[in-house]
Amino acid sequence: MHSSSHGFPSKIATAALALTALTTWLMLRGYHGLLGDAQLYAFQALARIHPHLAGDLYLQNTSQDQFTVFSPLYAWFIEPLGLEQAARALTLAFTVWLLAASWSTARSLTGRDGVWSGDGARPRDGAWPAVVFLLIVAGSYGGSGVFKFLDEFLTARLPAEAMIATALACYFGGRKILAFGVATAALFVHPLIALPGLLLLVCLSIPIRFGVMGAIAGALASLLISAAATRFAWVSHVFPVMDLAWLNVVHERSQFLFLQLWSFRDWELNVQPFFYLTFTAMAFPDARVRRLCVAAGLVGITGLGVAFIAGALGPVALMVQGQAWRWVWIATFLSALLMPAAILQVWPDPKCGPLCALLLTAGLTLPAIDGMACVSLGLSLWLMKSYLPIRIGLILRWMAWALLTAALGWIVFHDWNLFSSALRAASTGAPMRDLFGLQFLVTLAAAGVWRCVHSSRAAWTPTLVSASLLAVSIFFIPSAFRQSRTLASPADIAEFADWQAVIPPTSTVLVTPPRDVGTFVWFTLQRPNYLAADQTAGVVFSRPTALEVQRRSEILLPLMDPNWKFLTRLRAAATDKRKLEVATHPLTTATLEEVCSDSQLGFVIATQDLGFDALPHQKPGPWKGWNLYDCRNVRRKLSTS
């Protein structure tokens, strides 16, 4: 039975492939709540519902919220559904949208008419393997892998990625005007994600030589602007340069913005997709795929060049804020999307096909393996295949099976105890996705399902596979939706009604020692933070915000070291892992009086009872015994003493 057949067998085959994608998502990704950047976007949306939150330091000056229409859309869903329910529903909807658009793109490029079996006569559908592979690979890019495509939580990146994937599907489906319209609309959702997608469409629509000329012109323009802005005052009025005070804060908080601060591992991570695109372009006979690989590589390399210039000269604020290095995401995304088709193309090669396929797969799915080494070796073998004698080809094929056996043995030896314990508790939330080599094993399992569906002549085989995958999916649903905590739940908010009644809506709150990155104040008390780690994320967009972060950090030095100086902590951790933690000091009467001397600080929450009419939290739970201090009372006592 083949995917090209019709009727009931074809539907069963499609169900088996769709369930493979679902099972892969449940095992390796899932949805675990408002984590990471999802908290920032949730706060931006809540500020639309509760206007007093707009006075928070994160939003009171220029911030990323001013460049997206995502926040009001998100807020529109939060009001009837609640924060957690809206975040979950939108994450699932955008994930399905992105995967569906990716499937459509892959089908247009490598589907039933694009990927052929070794006998050259029977078509194989390469779209479903592409979708599954997107779910398997990490998809990380940027300094320290700070971002990745297809996040498991809700940010504006997810719908923007879905829109760009949709634009590509439209373009290769023959609807080019619609493709440009969708990509342009994505600029209003997340311009940093949408711009490389739009540039990719432009590169696909013009001769490659013009694209290369445009890339060179863009790099030269950024060089000239940066040089002129640092030399001529009139240019710096149009393109402001970040002064030393602002630059120091941005360096410390967001070191990944500057390519000069990237490590060798960072460069290796971000260059790797270009090697995979090169291999795909060389292995694939379709001119459209080759052109797409070249265009994606051109956009990504141009972004890295512009970003390097932006950080090295000046730096010009607008160019640093533009974060052109993020253009690499489109190369990372397409290298993963096209890789299964490339593997299907090279596998039948009698000399080095299986070994190249294994190297490419291992480089993307085995974290302990050097991905650059794998793809480089695979690319070298493929380039030399015409010069290899038949006897060497036989040795290489045996070597591929030997390496596969060794890899499986290594995984079993490394993870046997962890796997058995995690499997017993998977239904209650065991961290299966953290197992060593799980991505590689899932890749092999998915390949087996795909092979079974495409090679079976009877309908009962894919039916049995579908039933098995459905059972596995049900088994992993609890762990896929496991959440470590819930934000802004009505019960949590009601628990602190006594504190909320005392704290004015626009008054800032400080928690010491910090219990989280600032979410308790934002989502439970629904008040502005005085200074928290997440709150400093927007220092690159606003000089006043950066300087205010610096000032408030100095006020809080008696209580804690600056929690936003990630660059200093990373450098210190290179010699001592314990230095990753932020040093804190107990609150005393003297330090309370010192920090409350800042009129911008409204309230302090701490474990110590120091008087000053502190309001303790009496209800059972992790916050029982914590005290709320009104800095107005502290300042009043100081003024009368």
Query: What are the pLDDT digits (tens) for 488-529?
Result: 888 889 999 999 999 999 999 999 998 888 899 999 999 999
Dist CA 260 CA 368 (whole Å): 26
- For the ranges 13-22, 201-210, 359-368, the maximum mean pLDDT occurs at 201-210
pLDDT at residue 408, as a whole number: 87
So what's the pLDDT on residue 433? 60
pLDDT in tens, 369-412: 788 999 999 999 999 988 888 888 889 889 999 999 988 888 88
Residue predicted with more confidence, 569 or 467: 467
Task: Read off the pLDDT of residues 593-610 as tens digits, 9 standing for 90 and up.
Answer: 999 999 999 999 999 988
Tell me whether residue 227 is exposed, middle or buried, using C-beta atoms within 10 angstroms of its C-beta: 0 to 12, 13 to 18, 19 or more: middle
pLDDT at 117: 39
Q: What is the pLDDT of residue 313?
A: 83
By DSSP bridging, strand 509-511 and strand 603-606 are parallel
Strand, helix or coil at 511? Answer: strand
How much of the chain exceeds pLDDT 90, in percent? 64
pLDDT of residue 487: 84
Q: Specify the pLDDT at position 126.
A: 77
Taking the C-alpha atoms of residue 305 and residue 215, their distance in angstroms, rounded to an integer, is 9
pLDDT for 593 equals 92
Spell out the residues 6+ positions from residue 83 whose beta carbon is closer than 8 angstroms to its own.
Answer: 34, 42, 45, 46, 487, 488, 523
Q: What CA–CA distance (Å, rounded) separates 270 from 515?
A: 34
Q: Which residues pair with 349 in a beta bridge?
A: none
pLDDT given at position 421? 58
Mean pLDDT score, 129-156: 93
- Contacts of residue 415, defined as CB under 8 A and 6 or more positions apart, other chains included, come to 435, 436, 437, 438
pLDDT at site 249: 95
- pLDDT, average across residues 126-150: 92
Residue 2's pLDDT band, with cuts at 50, 70 and 90, is very low
- Nearest Cα to Cα of residue 512 among 636, 634, 631, 626: 626
For residues 15 and 455, what is the distance between their CA atoms, to the nearest angstrom?
16
Q: What digits encode the pLDDT tens for the residues 572-591?
A: 776 665 555 677 889 999 99
User: Binning pLDDT at 50, 70 and 90, where does residue 427 land?
Assistant: very low
> How many residues are there in the chain?
641
Contact 161, 150 (CB under 8 A): yes
β-pairing, 509-511 with 123-124? unpaired
- HSE on the CB side for 260, CA within 13 Å? 10
Alpha helix (H) residue ranges in 370-480? 371-384, 390-424, 438-455, 460-480
| Cα first-last separation, the chain | 89
Q: What is the pLDDT of residues 84-114, one digit of tens each?
A: 999 999 999 999 999 999 999 999 988 654 4
On the question of pLDDT at 242 being above 50, the answer is yes
Most confident range, picked from 9-23, 105-119, 189-203: 189-203
Which range, 28-42, 160-174, 480-494, is most confident? 160-174
pLDDT bucket at 19, cuts 50 / 70 / 90 = very high
Tokens 């400093």: give the residue.
536
Answer whether residue 3 shows pLDDT above 50. Answer: no
The burial class, CB within 10 Å (0-12 / 13-18 / 19+), for 406 is exposed
Whole-number pLDDT of residue 437: 79
Give me the chain's average pLDDT, please.
88
Distances (CA, A) of 140 to 5, 194, 268, 273: 37, 17, 12, 10
Reported pTM? 0.92
Least confidently predicted of 129-133, 285-289, 411-415: 411-415
pLDDT value, residue 578: 57
pLDDT category at 123 given cuts 50, 70, 90 is very low
Rounded CA separation 548/54 (Å): 16
Query: Would the CA dihedral through 301, 269, 314, 539 be positive or negative?
Result: positive
The listed range with the strongest mean pLDDT (5-9, 231-235, 297-301, 482-486) is 297-301
21-79 pLDDT, tens digit per residue, is 999 999 999 998 898 899 999 999 999 999 999 999 999 988 888 899 999 999 999 99
Q: Which two tokens stand for residue 528?
A: 């502005």
Supply the DSSP string of 545-566, one letter for each residue. Answer: HHHHHHHHHHHTTTTB--TT-H
